[in-house]
Structure 1
Amino acid sequence: MPLSQQRRFPRRKTSVRASRDFVDQVLTGWQLAPLIADIKLCVSELATNALLHGVPPGREFSVRLSATDHFVRLAVRDSGGGRPAVRLVGEESGSGRGLFLARQLAAELGVDHHAVGKTVWVAFDRPPCP
């Protein structure tokens, strides 16, 4: 049976931590503890990108988790423009590794563009049920 939970967050730095807490709570409830660390790291990166590049003042972003028998998907949607892309940065750079890191952890990464905004998502293979 597919599962899905979504939450909206305001354009504040504290929303990155709140999005990690949301992911932790949902995945714990779904008994998917083996994925918590990787998905929390990815939501940190995607939520930070949304705040820095995608959420205009006064707007929010949303975090959605969905699960099927085969995968778990994390999606972060914002109302900003832009075309996120995985890029390689030099060792001396202090930023720019978020999507690269998310892509390394997840089985898939994608961007869906909407009339207003975009959704950046990562999908993870679901571990077998205990």
Structure 2
Amino acid sequence: MSGEHHTIELPNEAQAETPEHAGTVTAVAPPAAVARTPVPLGELSLPAVHDSVPRARGFSRAVTTASGIGHVRDDAEVLVSELVTNAVQHATIPGAPLRLRLLRAGSRLRIEVHDTSPAVPRARQIDLMEETGRGWFLVAVIAERHGTDHTASGKSVWCELRAWPRDERPSH
């Protein structure tokens, strides 16, 4: 796969106006349905090679900025970097296809990396003096939720980060 990507514009969840009901506000979907059904923001297909990591980070920056959640851009970039790096390092076949998906799941940004390996990430003892081995720990610390789902073609490693509405407090 050559790195093609798709960005999907967010639907206006606040209101929809029709000519026969001009001036009335109608919810497009109830908030509970929005929370259960993730809305795709963007998708990027990549090979499991080290050059894919910076491309995934750049894609994450572009999607978060275009989606109006630039305030979580740095955290999202770290999460994307760690998930894609892990998928590249543990790919059963070098260059195997990976798919990065960014979705809106209610008030959270959901980051998914799909790959063909059935092996799931596992927490391990961390040595802060080592250059590797901290990825899953960083995901656990930064993300509100994280996990792994088995798929028909391998697995999806995912995490979620609160992104909507923006927290206006000075410390965030």
Query: After TM superposition, is the score higher than 0.5?
Result: yes
Q: 1:62 Cα shift?
A: 0.6
Task: Report the structure number with the largest CA radius of gyration.
Answer: 2
Distance in 2 between the 1:11 and 1:83 partners?
Answer: 16
Distance in 1 between the 2:81 and 2:142 partners?
Answer: 13
**Structure 2: runs of 5+ lacking an equivalent:** 1-12, 14-37
Identity %: 32
Q: Which amino acid aligns with 1:3?
A: V
Distance in 2 between the 1:55 and 1:30 partners?
Answer: 34
Native 8 Å contact 1:54 1:81 kept in 2: no
Q: How does 1:1-130 map to 2 (within 5 A)?
A: 1=13, 3-4=39-40, 5-54=42-91, 56-128=93-165
Q: 1:58 Cα shift?
A: 4.2
Query: Which structure shows the bigger proportion of residues in helix conformation?
Result: 1
Report the secondary structure of 1:64's partner residue: strand
Do the aligned partners of residues 81 and 69 (structure 1) sit closer, same or farther apart at CA in structure 2, a change above 3 Å counting? closer
Q: Which amino acid aligns with 2:144?
A: A
Distance in 2 between the 1:125 and 1:100 partners?
Answer: 18
> Number of aligned pairs?
130
Q: Deviations over 1:49-75 (max 9, x none)?
A: 111103523421010000144111000
Report the secondary structure of 1:118's partner residue: strand
Native 8 Å contact 2:48 2:96 kept in 1: yes
TM normalised by structure 1 equals: 0.90
Native 8 Å contact 1:88 1:100 kept in 2: no
Q: What is the root-mean-square deviation of aligned Cα atoms in Å? A: 1.8
Q: 1:11 Cα shift?
A: 2.5
TM normalised by structure 2 equals: 0.69
Q: Bigger relative contact order, structure 1 or 2, given CA contacts below 8 A and separation 6+?
A: 1
**Structure 1: runs of 5+ lacking an equivalent:** none
